[in-house]
Structure 1
Amino acid sequence: MKLISAPFRWFKKYFWKLTAVFLVALFAYGFYLDAQIKTRFDGNKWVVPAQLFARPLTLQQGQEINRDEILQELSLLGYRQVSQIRQPGEYTLQGGELRVFRRAFAFADGFESARQLRLKLQNDRLVSIYDNAVTSQVNEARLEPMMVTRIITQSREDRILLTLEDIPTSLIETLIMTEDRDFYHHHGVAPLAILRALVANIKAGRTVQGGSTLTQQLAKNLFLTRERSLIRKINEAIMAVIIDLRYSKDEIIETYLNEVFLGQRGDLAIHGFGLASYYYFNRPLEELNLAEQATLVGMVKGPSAYNPFRHPQNTRKRRDVVLRTLFEQDIIDKEMYTDAVESPLNAVDKGILSQHKYPAFMQQVNRELRQVLPAKDLRESGIKIFSTLDPHIQRAAEQATEKTLTALQSSRDTVALNAAIIASDFRTGGIRALVGGKEFDYQGFNRVLDARRPVGSLIKPAVYLTALEQPAVYTLATPIEDKPIRLKSSYGKYWEPQNVDKQFRGSVPLLTALSHSLNVPTVKLGMTLGLENVADTIERLGVKEKFDTYPAMTLGALNLSPRQVNQMYQTIANVGIRQELHSISAISTHDDIPIWYRMNVPEQRVDKAAAYLVNYALHKVTREGTGKRLKQVFPRVNFAGKTGTTDDYRDSWFSGMDNQLATTIWVGNDDNLETGLTGSAGAMSIFINMQRDIYPKSFNQAFPEGIGIAHFAPEDGSRKVPGCANGLSVPAYLPALPGATTCDGKPPQETKEKSLWERLFGS
């Protein structure tokens, strides 16, 4: 008895002191936990990935565009075709009219609310655009851009932050009814719920019900590990109480909705309902129907077990349990319940977030991003990057590369072919597509940006442009000598350039020399003009790095990257106006505050009239010259372009333009082995396959000031009056031309103005 009473008396004696010590320790521990919670909640709770958006599709009245192009864009954006549009993200076809309920979106230049648009198309042209909000025609409207990818930080977590206003109340109600019915009544923990769960688990002999509140789940996700221990559960409960005391229910539920773990995408964790909605359904959260919302809520219990891609049957059963709960609690009626449980899962296994991330294009983005936003913290603060990427053109470029290389490789087993493509909007300089090699998912060596290869005949337009900038001396009809030439190098060796067909023509018009890519006339013209002057033209077209000048340079003995070549052709296609090639157009913060805009400063780097004449010649390349196969494949589309082939057929090049894009393509072997491919057989074949998928528009340019049609004698390039036999009629800069002579070379007779008497009565 004494042995029992002694400890009891000791405990009784020190009870209040022990209690005080315990309370002080508990208070101190609570204060420590509170500091942790406050730091996390009041600061940046998460490192949010940057979002990269594609270009928005802009629709303009009178624009050349067909219905399939718009439908393709709507499909990419996850719009649903319905019989009658009721909410954003839906469209309908009614006769010749396309009705689109465009989503609200914070564009780089400002927020635009949702709009109901009526688009009338006729003969592949957008005839009119009606906006229901203003009940009248508008000249322009744009669809929101596709979210291309998300630039993940080292945390390997991904989420789209939403505010409570962004989240459908029906989803919040479904979550609370399923996971924590007493959420708005308890203080972080719910003892009765814990007891109910304990009884249910004992009866079942296994864990069938949890007693954790949403606040406890949030505490566990934000601050604790997933280990199952009593200490962890105690910490979870204390933290939940502190969170409930310090923050409002709205703040807690908003944080939970952004934090909850809802699956895995490769090695990336998917957090929050905002991202999960895109990943599983390819649509924003506010557009999900009741059944789709119930699917996501059901996944909270076990994202792996209820993954709709891997376990669709389990997912559907879990979804129906959630719907049954809503029905039993009178949240939905029987008709809504029946419709929801009978609907399919609608999970989109090939949504935008499950596709690859265009690593070659992303390399260009990251290089620009480091220049315009040097601060790493800013780049990792959830910024929104508005890029110039066109997903349709990118996909067409990739598919054309794969298809063409597969066909070409079948007869070249000993030489591994590779390719690079860059396509840009030549009017703005925005890069629309970039393929760094045949392995599209490969994040290593980027041939567009970093490979330097001899460019062959792709350099020739710069030679002829140098000449045509002297309109008093050179026209498209000026004869260029095509006779054998022998040049001595600085090393004492002789170089005798040849035309591809080994023939000499005596002389040819400048137009013929360029359109048929004749080597000897090009070299002679370049030497006459002066190699330094040709080099200056190449620099003005956009090649910034220095290079040696020597005669072979005029035939492309000059190593450039596909990006540098495309910059040159962008300037030529844009009638001499150089726009810096770029992949980023604007950047804003995660809450849509603009922080950077690209300020395009167009520069007239070469003469406008001369550039137009070169474009005319490049059009002839695709009609009757080395690129004439384009006319055979696309008889109704006008292109301009230039093929290029280097010595021993090691490099195959093509740069081509329609009315939207300047596209540069290289095909070759990384080890510089012979491929046996000309520019037409290799690179241009990719261009043709690519154009088949992107609805090319005819390359058309209005005459610049001073340009008009003139008539010339092809043998000597002299200007003639119209109608001479075998005359050459081509565009020319008229103010610089001498007067025309008659077909026999005489000055035309002046016609004396008749008097009034002569006009009335003749004489």
Structure 2
Amino acid sequence: MPVIQKLNPFIWFRKYFWKLLFVSTVIFIAYMVYLDAVIAHQFSGNKWQVPAQIYARPLTLSLKEEITSKEIIEELELLGYRRVSKAAATGEYQYANNRFVVYRRAFHFADGFQAQTALSVVIKSGRVAQITNLNSNTSVKSFRLEPWLITRLVSAGREDRMLVSLGQVPPALLEALIIVEDNDFYQHHGIAPLSILRALFANIAAGRAVQGGSTLTQQLVKNMYLTNEKSISRKAKEALMSILIDARYSKDQILEAYLNEVFLGQNGENGVHGFGLASYFYFDRPLDELNLLEITTLVGMIKGPSYYNPRRYPDRLTERRNLVLRLMFEDGKIDKPTFESLLDRPVLVASGASLRKNKHPAFMDKVQRELRNVLANPDIRDSGVKVFTSLDSNAQRKAEKVVTERLLKLEGARKINKLQAAMVISDIDSGEIRAIVGDRNTNYSGFNRALDAKRSIGSLVKPAIYISALERPQEYNLATPLLDKPIELPDDAGSLWKPQNADKKFRGQVPLYTALTQSLNVPTVTLGMEIGIDNIATTLGRLGIDEPISRYPALTLGALDLSPLQVNQMYQTIANNGLQIKLHAVNGILSVDNEVIWSFAEAPTRQFDEKVTYLMNYALHKVTLEGTAKRIKQHFPSVNMAGKTGTTDDYRDSWFAGFDKNILATSWIGKDDNQSTGLTGASGALNLFIDYQKLQEPKSLVRRFPKGLGIAHFDSETGHATQPGCQSSMSLPAILETLPKRPEKCGTKNPKVEERKSFWEKLFG
């Protein structure tokens, strides 16, 4: 048998030591190169997906602008400005005797950077009387506050953060962070064995964990690259990567990355990462405006954001915060009086509502639809872009309030249920949408009735008919008599259609403006047939309706299905004196580097002569004085407004579109199953408009006379121009060049209006 020699391990190790060392070294170097590549790929590039930041419109104040002190205070409170007795720091304001002093924050708008500035604003008689830049002690014509952050469109990764640079971080925060988490940060090279031993002894002496052994660099590595697995291999990898990061990047770069990466809480499904976002989440203000108590609160939470959650465990957090204060005192960063005065102060945090998800879902639905059109690439949307919208946050909250409360009142008073509603509020001049409500549950993010519910608009179609007539000033003016007698017309099914007025009465004839203000159906149908259905459909297109339109006689009474948004577009053209601008919710988009990516640039187009729309607006104003919406005047006796009610067959849909000087509001009430509500436009949707305006500060509608327009006098029976002072005359605005140069004398007899046959009578006899 052969002799088997036993191999001595020591001899084997000596024999292969250098080879093993060489192979191990190569493997180690290769592994380090690999780790370095992993680090460089993320750390040197785009470290994080940053949500798109969605901003509301900024409040701009200009000399002589109509605005109340209450409206300004609402905006400042929304933006998290602190009201103090004497403002002295950014983010503070004072108010007394109709004078504001505001230390406005810096902000980068789509049109450039705005520096922080101290301003004085004086309000007199509901207008801006004076604006002074207190830094230069000079008068200025206008200024704007930074916009309110509505929400952040968080990606599928569920991480949310608001990036900050070291220059935006209060020095006290950096001091507290380093003292508590890594006192040797500027001395070690990524890992600090002595710190681990010191933390161990400190924790033993305290009987609990008061210090951590990991450096800030190690914590950064664990958060950015590794899992929370507790193993030797994971810890070794963490140490190696920490050394590499420390060798490759400066301490300031590492510290800035840590400030933006650290986990500081949970906002629903989304993690709150970084001090920039945490400052808003817990205190509703920028990081550079935090005081020492707020700073030490955030630093204290690093050890365990859930355990030290200030909203759930304030006592735990107070104890932890006081520890941070003590460490700062012992390190000489704060003096003893400051330390002792702060120990007993309670932890005061905001509700967190400012960063709540799904705020104003109906409006955000419109924003996201527009973003998909202008930013098709989702990677761009996740790159920290700033999206500037037209949302008026105060208007939005008030619209949501009135929808919720009014539907409950209507259901209770009329014993009906399952009502639904929608509202769209826009700025008349700019076409910017200020608010959208798409459901009675204003937090519901499903079916958006304001955008997608196409319902018959009823009498809201009538201005399209009357404006078509007024565009023929040789034939029609506000005084033109219209027949109000029974008529029969074939409908689209071949049957006879017999339109009726709402009160089932006939008046023989009425002036054109009365037919509109009283929303009389029969004169409207008669006028519509004289104008022609094709012409009415064309007018609707010019008003902004891009839907296919069925051209039947029933169109004259609103046999047309539109959404509240489409109705709002239609009335925007009328309210804006014939100038049409596309309704929109997004005004501009900036990249993370504050470069303009996109901006709304569509110019308004003139669709109707200003003289014609003035006459239409005069008639719509009359609707609110003596017509179907006269309750507006009862509630607002000193404010001029205009509008139109709409009611559909069997009271299925209740509509109102109305406007003051600045805003246009469209409201709808109905049922999803299309059953009767028992509500007219006046008894239903008009209430939403009135309720909303009661919460606002409505501005009186003022329209200048266009050139060529003036007050004329008309015989109330014939509609012919007469001399002033006639007993039966009425005074109305009219296009003067179309009137006879010599008006008729009082009492002149003329052929009666009945002798003029309509288009339909001429055609069928």
TM-score (norm 2): 0.95
Query: Of 339, 342, 353, which aligns to 1:340?
Result: 342
Query: Of 248, 261, 280, which aligns to 2:263?
Result: 261
Deviation at 1:314, TM superposition (A): 1.1
Query: Of 559, 564, 567, which aligns to 2:566?
Result: 564
CA distance in 2, matches of 1:428, 1:126: 21
Question: What SS does structure 2 have at the residue aligned with 1:667?
Answer: strand
Which ranges in structure 1 are unaligned for 5 or more consecutive residues? 748-763
Query: Of 8, 24, 27, which aligns to 2:26?
Result: 24
Instruction: Give the aligned partner of residue 587 of structure 1.
Output: 589
Question: What SS does structure 1 have at the residue aligned with 2:695?
Answer: coil
Q: Does the CA contact (< 8 Å) of 1:49 and 1:152 recur in 2?
A: yes
Deviation at 1:15, TM superposition (A): 3.5
Instruction: Give the aligned partner of residue 421 of structure 2.
Output: 419
The question of 1:742 aligning with 2:745 is answered yes
Deviation at 1:23, TM superposition (A): 2.4
Q: Which moved more, 1:332-341 or 1:664-673?
A: 332-341
The question of 1:659 aligning with 2:661 is answered yes
The question of 1:315 aligning with 2:314 is answered no
Question: What SS does structure 2 have at the residue aligned with 1:692?
Answer: helix
Instruction: Give the aligned partner of residue 123 of structure 1.
Output: 125
14 and 202 in structure 1: CA distance in 2 versus 1, 3 angstrom threshold: farther
The question of 1:630 aligning with 2:659 is answered no
Query: Of 533, 536, 553, which aligns to 2:535?
Result: 533
Deviation at 1:206, TM superposition (A): 6.4
Deviation at 1:208, TM superposition (A): 5.0
CA distance in 1, matches of 2:95, 2:417: 50
Instruction: Give the aligned partner of residue 601 of structure 1.
Output: 603
Q: How many residues align?
A: 745
346 and 135 in structure 1: CA distance in 2 versus 1, 3 angstrom threshold: same
Instruction: Give the aligned partner of residue 477 of structure 1.
Output: 479
Question: What SS does structure 2 have at the residue aligned with 1:51?
Answer: strand
- Once the two structures are superposed, what CA deviation does each residue of 1:113-168 show, in whole Å capped at 9, x if it has no partner? 01111111111111111112332221111111101000111111100111111222
Query: Of 216, 233, 236, which aligns to 2:235?
Result: 233
Aligned-pair identity in percent equals 54
Question: What SS does structure 2 have at the residue aligned with 1:719?
Answer: coil
Instruction: Give the aligned partner of residue 162 of structure 2.
Output: 160
CA distance in 1, matches of 2:749, 2:491: 45
Question: What SS does structure 1 have at the residue aligned with 2:500?
Answer: coil
TM-score (norm 1): 0.95
Instruction: Give the aligned partner of residue 398 of structure 1.
Output: 400
- Once the two structures are superposed, what CA deviation does each residue of 1:72-112 show, in whole Å capped at 9, x if it has no partner? 00000000011211111110113231111111111111101
Instruction: Give the aligned partner of residue 434 of structure 1.
Output: 436
Query: Of 150, 153, 161, which aligns to 2:152?
Result: 150
Instruction: Give the aligned partner of residue 757 of structure 2.
Output: none
Query: Of 646, 649, 658, which aligns to 1:647?
Result: 649
Q: Does the CA contact (< 8 Å) of 2:180 and 2:211 recur in 1?
A: no
Deviation at 1:746, TM superposition (A): 9.4
Instruction: Give the aligned partner of residue 285 of structure 1.
Output: 287
CA distance in 1, matches of 2:519, 2:541: 22
Give 2:170's aligned amino acid.
P
Question: What SS does structure 2 have at the residue aligned with 1:720?
Answer: coil
Deviation at 1:412, TM superposition (A): 5.5
Question: What SS does structure 2 have at the residue aligned with 1:127?
Answer: strand
After superposing on structure 2, the runs of 4+ consecutive aligned residues of structure 1 that deviate more than 4 Å are 200-208, 411-414
CA distance in 2, matches of 1:425, 1:335: 54
Q: CA RMSD in A?
A: 1.7
The question of 1:370 aligning with 2:372 is answered yes
Give 1:682's aligned amino acid.
G
Instruction: Give the aligned partner of residue 110 of structure 1.
Output: 112
634 and 498 in structure 1: CA distance in 2 versus 1, 3 angstrom threshold: same
Instruction: Give the aligned partner of residue 756 of structure 1.
Output: none
Q: Does the CA contact (< 8 Å) of 1:281 and 1:351 recur in 2?
A: no
Instruction: Give the aligned partner of residue 247 of structure 2.
Output: 245
CA distance in 2, matches of 1:203, 1:104: 47
Q: Which moved more, 1:134-143 or 1:302-311?
A: 134-143
Q: Does the CA contact (< 8 Å) of 1:468 and 1:610 recur in 2?
A: yes
Give 1:498's aligned amino acid.
Q
CA distance in 1, matches of 2:211, 2:425: 56
The question of 1:173 aligning with 2:175 is answered yes
334 and 351 in structure 1: CA distance in 2 versus 1, 3 angstrom threshold: farther
Query: Of 485, 488, 501, which aligns to 1:486?
Result: 488
CA distance in 2, matches of 1:546, 1:320: 68
Q: Does the CA contact (< 8 Å) of 1:711 and 1:727 recur in 2?
A: yes
Question: What SS does structure 1 have at the residue aligned with 2:640?
Answer: coil
Question: What SS does structure 1 have at the residue aligned with 2:588?
Answer: strand
Deviation at 1:308, TM superposition (A): 1.1
Query: Of 730, 733, 741, which aligns to 1:731?
Result: 733
Instruction: Give the aligned partner of residue 8 of structure 2.
Output: 6
Q: Which moved more, 1:329-338 or 1:475-484?
A: 329-338
Give 1:221's aligned amino acid.
N
Question: What SS does structure 2 have at the residue aligned with 1:674?
Answer: coil
Instruction: Give the aligned partner of residue 755 of structure 1.
Output: none
CA distance in 2, matches of 1:492, 1:162: 70
Deviation at 1:516, TM superposition (A): 0.4
Query: Of 351, 360, 363, which aligns to 1:361?
Result: 363
CA distance in 2, matches of 1:550, 1:664: 25
Instruction: Give the aligned partner of residue 758 of structure 1.
Output: none
CA distance in 2, matches of 1:251, 1:456: 64
Deviation at 1:350, TM superposition (A): 4.3
CA distance in 1, matches of 2:202, 2:326: 19
Give 1:281's aligned amino acid.
F
Q: Which moved more, 1:335-344 or 1:677-686?
A: 335-344
Question: What SS does structure 2 have at the residue aligned with 1:363?
Answer: helix
Q: Does the CA contact (< 8 Å) of 2:58 and 2:148 recur in 1?
A: yes
Q: Does the CA contact (< 8 Å) of 1:295 and 1:315 recur in 2?
A: yes
Deviation at 1:204, TM superposition (A): 6.8
Question: What SS does structure 1 have at the residue aligned with 2:176?
Answer: helix
Question: What SS does structure 1 have at the residue aligned with 2:439?
Answer: coil
Question: What SS does structure 2 have at the residue aligned with 1:304?
Answer: coil
CA distance in 2, matches of 1:616, 1:344: 59
Question: What SS does structure 2 have at the residue aligned with 1:601?
Answer: coil
CA distance in 2, matches of 1:398, 1:236: 50
- Once the two structures are superposed, what CA deviation does each residue of 1:361-408 show, in whole Å capped at 9, x if it has no partner? 111111111111222222221110000000011001000000001111
Instruction: Give the aligned partner of residue 328 of structure 2.
Output: 326
Deviation at 1:440, TM superposition (A): 1.6
CA distance in 1, matches of 2:704, 2:537: 28
Instruction: Give the aligned partner of residue 349 of structure 1.
Output: 351
Q: Which moved more, 1:736-745 or 1:674-683?
A: 736-745
CA distance in 1, matches of 2:684, 2:446: 24
Give 2:145's aligned amino acid.
L
Give 1:146's aligned amino acid.
W
1:41-120 equivalences under 5 Å are 41-120=43-122
- Once the two structures are superposed, what CA deviation does each residue of 1:702-727 show, in whole Å capped at 9, x if it has no partner? 11121111111111111122222232
Query: Of 673, 676, 681, which aligns to 1:674?
Result: 676
Q: Which moved more, 1:322-331 or 1:718-727?
A: 718-727
CA distance in 1, matches of 2:438, 2:554: 28
Give 1:527's aligned amino acid.
M
Instruction: Give the aligned partner of residue 761 of structure 1.
Output: none
Give 2:124's aligned amino acid.
Q
Q: Does the CA contact (< 8 Å) of 1:622 and 1:641 recur in 2?
A: yes
CA distance in 2, matches of 1:661, 1:698: 11
- Once the two structures are superposed, what CA deviation does each residue of 1:655-708 show, in whole Å capped at 9, x if it has no partner? 010111111111000000111011111111111111111211111111112111
Q: Does the CA contact (< 8 Å) of 1:291 and 1:341 recur in 2?
A: no
Deviation at 1:485, TM superposition (A): 0.6
Instruction: Give the aligned partner of residue 577 of structure 1.
Output: 579
CA distance in 2, matches of 1:4, 1:251: 57
CA distance in 2, matches of 1:470, 1:657: 26
Deviation at 1:200, TM superposition (A): 4.5
Q: Which moved more, 1:85-94 or 1:258-267?
A: 85-94
CA distance in 1, matches of 2:650, 2:170: 65
CA distance in 2, matches of 1:201, 1:317: 16
